[in-house]
Each structure stands twice: as structure tokens, then as C-alpha cells.
């Protein structure tokens, strides 16, 4: 069973329309920053109630709902998109330099987002004010886009939680499956070094997946840092 948020479709569609046609995008300086489009989508979705369906019948029902309600809903979304543009423009940050999209035609080995928590083994409180890094073969793993960090900085209000999303890898011709070995690493002078190894399996897919599916995230076991004596 696949759960689908119909509002997400409307929001993405409206953002795409306005970014393609609205002169405000150029005025605000967003036209040459493709990632800002996704920031606006998130801004709107975080301020809009979702409408979920699990079947074609649910989708059909939504299509036959009151016309005036749909018109008003679209108008509200459009207003939020414009608010989001203003907010993103005022709070723009420097993006990491590099190539983050598909560099060639598929197939690709796509990876899930990786989530976990780190605790202080001395007092069992969530770890904070330190850096967690994801490695593959001794090199920092390239992430899906500039909005995902590697290394990842743990701060107090994230309760010891880290998140990574590895960039898809081009699948060699004829190779349908892979298992990639990753290393989670914390090197902080206050704690004993942490090196945690795990493997992620992936099947070759024709498309480069750049939309995160939180239901498919790989959740690692809780890890503990122990203070140096």
C-alpha cells in the first residue's frame, strides 16, 4: 500500500508554475539557485494540512469535491508560495559547490536517507556540540545535494540525531545489485573515537532518485560515546 499526499502534488505544481513564469523569482534573486525551489516547497508544505489517499477511489473523490473549495485551496497555496519566496530570499545561505544532480543517464544505485542517534555513554544524555561524519573507503561520502550535510553537526535541539543521504552511484553496466560499506565516524578530543561500520544494499534503478522517502530511511542502532579518562 502506498500513501499519497495530494496537497504535495498541488504545491509542487504551483511552485513550478510560478518559478517558470513569475518575474518576482528573478527580482528576489532565486532564478539561479535551483535549490531555493525546494526550500519554497518545504515552506508551503509545513504550513498546509495534508490530504492523504491510498487508492484510486480516494483520488477520484478528491477530484469531485466542491469546486469552490478547490479554487480557494489553490489560491491559498499560491499565496503561501509567494510568502515562501520572500522568506527564502531573505534567509538565503551559501550552498556547497559541486555537482549534485544526475551526471549521466541511469541506471543508478539509489540509497535511503540514514538516520540515527548518538548518546553520551557517561550520563546517557543526547550528544551535542560535535561532528559526525559518513565515510566510504576512507573518503567522505558525497551527499544528495547541498542541503544535506557531511560532516553533520550535532546541536542541542536535535537530541543527538544525525541524518545523511548519500548521493546515488552510477551502476556499472550489467551490475544489478550492490552492497556498499559505510563508516560512521566521530573523532572528538573529549571522547574515545567512534567508528561504526554498516552495509547498505541497493538494486540498480533507471532513475536518479532525488525525493526522500522517510518511510524507507535506514535507521541505525543508538550509538554511545565514552568520555576520555
40-57 pLDDT, tens per residue?
888 888 888 777 766 544
| Pair type for strands 223-225 and 114-120 | parallel
Q: Within the chain, which residues score under 50 in pLDDT?
A: 1, 56-61, 63-64, 67, 95-97
pTM: 0.60
**Alpha carbons 158 and 213: distance in angstroms, whole number:** 20
How high is the pLDDT of residue 48? Answer: 81
Q: In order of start, what are the domains of the chain with their CATH numbers? A: 4-90 (no CATH), 108-225 (2.60.40)
How high is the pLDDT of residue 53? Answer: 67
Q: Is 140:150 a contact under the CB 8 Å cutoff?
A: yes
**Among candidate residues 203, 199, 209, the one with its CA nearest the CA of residue 177:** 203
Amino acid at each position: 500500500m502506498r500513501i499519497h499526499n495530494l496537497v504535495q502534488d498541488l504545491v509542487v505544481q504551483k511552485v513550478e508554475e510560478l518559478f517558470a513564469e513569475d518575474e518576482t523569482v528573478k527580482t528576489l534573486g532565486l532564478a539561479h539557485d535551483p535549490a531555493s525551489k525546494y526550500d519554497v516547497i518545504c515552506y508551503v508544505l509545513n504550513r498546509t494540512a495534508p490530504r492523504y489517499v491510498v487508492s484510486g477511489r480516494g483520488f477520484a473523490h478528491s477530484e469531485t469535491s466542491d469546486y469552490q473549495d478547490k479554487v480557494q485551496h489553490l489560491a491559498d497555496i499560491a499565496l503561501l508560495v509567494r510568502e515562501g519566496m520572500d522568506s527564502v530570499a531573505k534567509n538565503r545561505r551559501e550552498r556547497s559547490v559541486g555537482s549534485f544532480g544526475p551526471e549521466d543517464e541511469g541506471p543508478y544505485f539509489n540509497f535511503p536517507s540514514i538516520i540515527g542517534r548518538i548518546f553520551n555513554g557517561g550520563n546517557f544524555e543526547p550528544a551535542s556540540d560535535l561532528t559526525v561524519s559518513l565515510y566510504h573507503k576512507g573518503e567522505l561520502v558525497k551527499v544528495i545535494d547541498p542541503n544535506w550535510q557531511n560532516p553533520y553537526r550535532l546541536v542541542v535541539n536535535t537530541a543527538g540525531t544525525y541524518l545523511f543521504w548519500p548521493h546515488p552511484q552510477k551502476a556499472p553496466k550489467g551490475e544489478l545489485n550492490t552492497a556498499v560499506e559505510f563508516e560512521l565516524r566521530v573523532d572528538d578530543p573529549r571522547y574515545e573515537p567512534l567508528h561504526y561500520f554498516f552495509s547498505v544494499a541497493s538494486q540498480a534503478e533507471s532513475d536518479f532518485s532525488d525525493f526522500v522517502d522517510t518511510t524507507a530511511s535506514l535507521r541505525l542502532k543508538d550509538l554511545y560515546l565514552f568520555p576520555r579518562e
